[in-house]
């Protein structure tokens, strides 16, 4: 057995022998010969070689030249030899990569891996470097570890090929993600473990973990949760809160993760005083209204941050777009109080030099510019920029909209407003086949253009055929008939209806007519509508027509020429017209046939939709509709084809469409009074959280129809609950509901699953 001392002497002797082997007598290089080159050109080698003919080569210069060639990464071996005055350089080139194959990866896409390896220098056609492959293996393992897959196995295999090439194969066995078995918080006294754990994104396994993956450990998720925990305490007065340490341990089988979070809460602080300082260009009383930090209240970092943002936004509305508002807290440890001073630096007032529009290949500039609330040459106002973005979104012409305000070079008080849009395909010719539980097979063909020739005008011609309706219609709308935004539209239509197949009282109708409508902007969020229509209606009965319908026709006739006048008011603050998640839509409308028409009646309705974000991913939606109609003059009652109905996909879900209310022969007769409401919570689609065309919700519906106001009874209201899905597919909206009636009564017709395909809602 060799002793450590003897081993040291052997190593020293080896070093002396190597040193002697490399030692050479200095000489002047008269010629340089290269041996072993295959792919690398002589010119490339000479470019890196720090030696030239005429140089004197000694041990130092030789070592320097060898290091330079190794540094290129092209060679596995470099040797210098002397033949008289000729330097002979023999190299062994590293192989090139012929192909790279990755198998077994599911959580990380192959194209993402290939792109990352290419950025690291490992790609087909490049020189193979084993150290780079090792680095890729370690990085790949790190990525899987970050996803909680600690049992991952990565094996790289290098296969030599002819012509000094290699194949690289990387086999990945991902294994199962480690589950969080326990999360322990140590040091908390003010709040219970249950309260604090509810604030965290990561959880122990739950019923919904399969969809949310919340029980899978991730270093990024834990870091985000620690910041959430910190914010929770800082927003409740614990300004000295600290996370002392976190321990993450995994069981030997790499399947269970234990997390321990050690914290120090500190003392709770209250607000002693709130002050404003700096250049208060806006009256102080106006700014104080924006501050949600109250003296005597518990200190909240969130309230302080939001107050500073509100002040900055208020200054931005006055043209100080780059205002700087810094909250400065002064802590009094003995009194456990904090004085907050908001330092206001408005900077210079900023003006808009130009508004530039880009990306609108079809849409005319004027269509975009007339929606802009920010004007060229005016003071830059952040609220007007934000409102402009919303108005452009609600046009429906654009898929993406971005507005930037870069500073004008060479100035300190001017910006340009750059509006970049990505146009969506609006479609001009469609033919569709759909199906609805109510109307059955739908055959339709239409020529439509919501942005006709890029002018923003809407034109459509439609043919629609189902077992309930046959419709031929044409419409035209100019949203800017006048420069002030007054809209005008025309329409003409012919409609045949077979109500028997609507599960309501049986009758047949032929209606044709035409109309004109106007819209008047009253303010940024309020619009008034006025329209005039003429309808020629002919009603025919069948052997199944209800007796009350026949009595109405006997008293009033079966053919009518009706002139209708309607008006309405709409208050709309939604952020989007489709799939909104914030704001309100409220409308009031009234319709009446003018005196002297074939029938005399009126209808009034009110509808409200409220969207409120509950969290970043959850939205509360509340809907309510009240409608009433009656006759006047010589008409005996509200015409039965003008009545209201309830139940179905777009009403009280879980009950058959149009089936609620008074019945005759098991068919609904409709009503003169309609009350419908719903509450929904919209939540993200699992694995499709960022989807803009798919929406899931849980709902509670309530409603019914009554023959009149006197007949209203709260006990007759129907309730249902369930889940709904809407998909804006290329063929049109698809609506699916799974509902359960909560107070079904005798005679009610229910449907647990309801859907509508290829029809608009």
Residue 438 has pLDDT above 80, yes or no: no
Other C-beta atoms within 10 Å of 98: how many? 17
Do residues 551 and 640 both lie within one domain? yes
Do residues 638 and 535 both lie within one domain? yes
Q: Does 55 map to a domain?
A: yes
Counted domains in the chain: 6
| Residue 153, H or E segment | strand 153-161
Residue 744 has pLDDT above 80, yes or no: yes
Do residues 119 and 75 both lie within one domain? no
* Mean pLDDT across the chain: 85
Do residues 167 and 187 both lie within one domain? no
More confident residue, 9 or 183: 183
Do residues 599 and 676 both lie within one domain? yes
| CA dist., res. 230 & res. 224, Å (int) | 10
| CA dist., res. 196 & res. 193, Å (int) | 5
Task: Tally DSSP H helices, then E strands, for the chain.
Answer: 13, 35
179 vs 106, 150, 151, 173, 175, CA distance in Å? 18, 10, 12, 18, 12
Q: Does 241 map to a domain?
A: yes
The sign of the CA dihedral 501, 503, 508, 512 is negative
Q: Does 454 map to a domain?
A: no
Short-list 269, 314, 264, 316, CA closest to 295: 269
Do residues 672 and 751 both lie within one domain? yes
Kindly report which listed range (204-213, 622-631, 739-748) carries the lowest average pLDDT score.
204-213
Question: For residue 364, what are the contacts with CB-CB under 8 A and spacing of at least 6?
Answer: 454, 455, 456
Roughly what angle, to the nearest 10 degrees, separates helices 219-234 and 130-146? 50
Q: Does 254 map to a domain?
A: yes
Q: Does 459 map to a domain?
A: no
Other C-beta atoms within 10 Å of 566: how many? 18
Q: Does 70 map to a domain?
A: yes
Buried-state track 693-726, b at ≥16 Cβ within 10 A, e below 16:
eebbbebbbbbbbbbeeeeeeeeebbbbbbbbeb
Residue 117: DSSP 8-state? H
Tens of pLDDT, residue by residue over 356-367, are 999 888 888 888
Residue 336 near residue 267 (C-beta atoms within 8 A) = yes
Q: 182: phi > 0 → left, psi -120 to 50 → alpha, else beta; which?
A: beta
Kindly report which listed range (99-108, 488-497, 513-522, 684-693) carries the lowest average pLDDT score.
684-693
Residue 760 has pLDDT above 50, yes or no: no
What's the confidence (pLDDT) of residue 429?
Answer: 42
In the chain, what percentage of residues exceed pLDDT 90? 40
Last residue of a domain, one of 394, 423, 452: 423
Residue 652: DSSP 8-state? S
Angle (CA) 518-523-529 rounded to 5° is 20
| CA dist., res. 670 & res. 657, Å (int) | 11
Residue 91: DSSP 8-state? E
Last residue of a domain, one of 206, 236, 264: 264
Residue 193 has pLDDT above 70, yes or no: yes
Residue 481 near residue 462 (C-beta atoms within 8 A) = no
> Measured in whole angstroms, how far is the alpha carbon of residue 163 from the centre of its chain?
51
Do residues 628 and 489 both lie within one domain? yes
Residue 437 has pLDDT above 80, yes or no: no
With cut-offs at 50, 70 and 90, classify the pLDDT of residue 208: low
The CATH number assigned to the domain holding 687 equals: 2.40.160.50
Helices (H), 38-164: 42-48, 59-71, 110-120, 130-146
What's the confidence (pLDDT) of residue 681?
Answer: 93
Kindly report which listed range (32-41, 107-116, 493-502, 709-718) carries the lowest average pLDDT score.
107-116
Other C-beta atoms within 10 Å of 332: how many? 11
Do residues 742 and 707 both lie within one domain? yes
Short-list 188, 314, 190, CA closest to 260: 188
pTM above the 0.75 mark? no
What's the confidence (pLDDT) of residue 211?
Answer: 63
Collapse the DSSP code of 119 into the 3-class scheme (helix H, G, I; strand E, B; otherwise coil) and give the result.
helix
| CA dist., res. 504 & res. 548, Å (int) | 13
Tens of pLDDT, residue by residue over 118-150, are 777 788 878 887 888 888 888 888 877 777 778
Residue 1 has pLDDT above 70, yes or no: no
Q: What is the mean pLDDT of residues 737-761?
A: 80
What's the confidence (pLDDT) of residue 422?
Answer: 85
With cut-offs at 50, 70 and 90, classify the pLDDT of residue 691: low
With cut-offs at 50, 70 and 90, classify the pLDDT of residue 9: very low
| Residue 620, H or E segment | strand 619-631
Do residues 571 and 612 both lie within one domain? yes
| CA dist., res. 37 & res. 39, Å (int) | 6
Residue 192 has pLDDT above 60, yes or no: yes
DSSP assignment string, 428-485: SEEEEEEEETTTEEEEEEEEEETTGGGSS-EEEEEEEE-SSEEEEEEEEEETTSSTT-
Short-list 504, 433, 500, 441, CA closest to 657: 504
What's the confidence (pLDDT) of residue 714?
Answer: 92
Question: What percent helix, strand, coil does the chain show, rounded to 5?
Answer: 20, 40, 35
The CATH number assigned to the domain holding 129 equals: 3.10.20.310
Tens of pLDDT, residue by residue over 599-610, are 999 999 999 999
More confident residue, 422 or 191: 191
Roughly what angle, to the nearest 10 degrees, separates helices 4-22 and 59-71? 100
| CA dist., res. 55 & res. 57, Å (int) | 6
What's the confidence (pLDDT) of residue 446?
Answer: 55
Do residues 491 and 639 both lie within one domain? yes
Do residues 705 and 561 both lie within one domain? yes
More confident residue, 146 or 33: 33
With cut-offs at 50, 70 and 90, classify the pLDDT of residue 688: low
Q: What is the mean pLDDT of residues 164-179?
A: 84
Q: What is the mean pLDDT of residues 634-663?
A: 91
Parallel, antiparallel, or unpaired for β 165-173 and 179-186?
unpaired
Q: Does 315 map to a domain?
A: yes
What's the confidence (pLDDT) of residue 17?
Answer: 37
> Measured in whole angstroms, how far is the alpha carbon of residue 162 from the centre of its chain?
51
Residue 73 belongs to domain spanning:
20-93
Short-list 634, 538, 539, CA closest to 595: 634
671 vs 541, 600, 661, CA distance in Å? 19, 17, 7
With cut-offs at 50, 70 and 90, classify the pLDDT of residue 338: very high
Q: Does 663 map to a domain?
A: yes
Q: What is the mean pLDDT of residues 254-269?
A: 91
Other C-beta atoms within 10 Å of 578: how many? 14
Last residue of a domain, one of 77, 93, 109: 93
Do residues 586 and 624 both lie within one domain? yes
What's the confidence (pLDDT) of residue 553?
Answer: 94
More confident residue, 487 or 394: 487
């Amino acid at each position: 057995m060799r002793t450590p001392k003897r081993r040291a002497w052997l190593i020293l002797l080896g070093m002396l022998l190597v040193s002697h082997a490399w030692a050479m007598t200095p000489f002047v290089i008269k010629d340089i010969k290269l041996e072993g080159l295959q792919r690398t050109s002589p010119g490339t080698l000479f470019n890196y070689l720090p030696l030239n003919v005429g140089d004197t080569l000694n041990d130092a210069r030789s070592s320097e030249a060898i290091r330079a060639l190794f540094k290129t990464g092209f060679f596995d071996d470099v040797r210098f030899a002397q033949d008289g005055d000729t330097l002979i350089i023999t190299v062994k080139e590293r192989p090139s990569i012929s192909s790279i194959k990755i198998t077994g990866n599911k959580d990380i896409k192959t194209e993402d891996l290939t792109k990352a390896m290419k950025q690291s220098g490992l790609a087909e056609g490049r020189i193979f470097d084993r150290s780079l492959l090792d680095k890729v293996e370690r990085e790949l393992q790190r990525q899987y570890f970050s996803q909680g897959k600690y049992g991952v196995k990565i094996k790289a295999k290098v296969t030599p090929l002819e012509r000094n090439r290699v194949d690289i194969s990387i086999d990945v066995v991902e294994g199962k993600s480690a589950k969080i078995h326990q999360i322990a918080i140590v040091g908390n006294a003010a709040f219970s473990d249950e309260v604090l754990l509810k604030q965290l994104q990561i959880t122990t396994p739950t019923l919904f973990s399969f969809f949310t993956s919340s029980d899978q450990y991730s270093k990024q998720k834990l870091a985000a949760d620690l910041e959430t925990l910190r914010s929770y305490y800082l927003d409740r007065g614990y300004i000295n809160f600290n996370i002392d340490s976190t321990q993450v341990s995994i069981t030997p089988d790499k399947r269970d993760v234990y997390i321990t979070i050690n914290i120090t809460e500190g003392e709770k602080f209250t607000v002693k005083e709130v002050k404003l300082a700096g250049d208060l260009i806006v009256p102080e009383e106006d700014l104080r209204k924006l501050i949600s930090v109250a003296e005597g209240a518990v200190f909240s970092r969130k309230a302080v941050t939001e107050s500073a943002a509100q002040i900055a936004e208020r200054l931005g509305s006055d043209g100080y777009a780059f205002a700087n508002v810094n909250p400065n807290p002064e802590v009094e440890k003995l009194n456990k109080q904090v004085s907050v001073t908001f330092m206001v630096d408005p900077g210079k007032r900023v003006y808009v030099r130009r508004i530039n529009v880009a990306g609108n290949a079809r849409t005319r500039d004027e269509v975009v510019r007339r929606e802009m609330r920010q004007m060229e040459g005016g003071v830059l106002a952040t609220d007007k920029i934000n409102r402009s973005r919303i108005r452009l979104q609600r046009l429906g012409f654009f898929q993406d909209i971005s507005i930037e305000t870069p500073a004008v070079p060479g100035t300190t008080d001017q910006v340009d407003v750059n509006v970049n849009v990505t146009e969506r395909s609006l479609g001009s010719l469609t033919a569709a086949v759909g199906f609805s539980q109510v109307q059955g097979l739908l055959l339709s063909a239409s020529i439509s253009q919501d942005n006709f020739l890029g002018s923003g005008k809407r034109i459509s011609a439609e043919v629609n055929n189902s077992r309930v309706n046959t419709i031929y219609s044409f419409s035209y709308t100019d949203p800017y008939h006048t420069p002030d935004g007054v809209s005008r539209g025309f329409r003409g239509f012919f409609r045949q209806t077979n109500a028997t197949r609507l599960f309501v009282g049986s009758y047949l109708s032929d209606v044709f007519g035409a109309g004109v409508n106007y819209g008047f902007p009253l303010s940024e969020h309020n619009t008034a509508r006025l329209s005039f229509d003429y309808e020629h209606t002919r009603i025919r009965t069948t052997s199944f027509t209800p007796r009350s319908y026949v009595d109405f026709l006997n008293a009033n006739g079966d053919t009518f020429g009706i002139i209708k006048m309607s008006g309405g008011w709409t208050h709309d603050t939604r952020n989007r017209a489709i799939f909104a998640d914030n704001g309100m839509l409220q409308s009031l409308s009234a319709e009446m046939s003018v005196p002297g028409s074939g029938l005399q009646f009126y209808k009034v309705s009110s509808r409200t939709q409220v969207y409120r974000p509950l969290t970043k991913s959850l939205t509360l939606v509340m809907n309510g509709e009240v409608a009433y109609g009656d006759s006047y003059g010589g008409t005996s009652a509200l015409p039965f084809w003008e009545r209201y109905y309830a139940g179905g996909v777009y009403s009280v879900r879980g009950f058959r469409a149009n089936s609620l209310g008074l019945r005759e022969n098991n068919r609904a007769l409709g009503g003169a009074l309609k009350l419908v409401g719903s509450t929904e919570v919209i939540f993200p689609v699992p694995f499709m959280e960022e989807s803009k065309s798919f929406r899931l919700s849980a709902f509670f519906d309530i409603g019914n129809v009554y023959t009149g106001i006197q007949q209203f009874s709260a006990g007759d209201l129907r309730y249902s609950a369930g889940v709904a899905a809407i998909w804006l597919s290329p063929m049109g909206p698809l609506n699916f509901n799974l509902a359960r009636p909560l107070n079904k009564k005798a005679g009610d017709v229910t449907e647990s699953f309801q859907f509508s395909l290829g029809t608009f809602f």
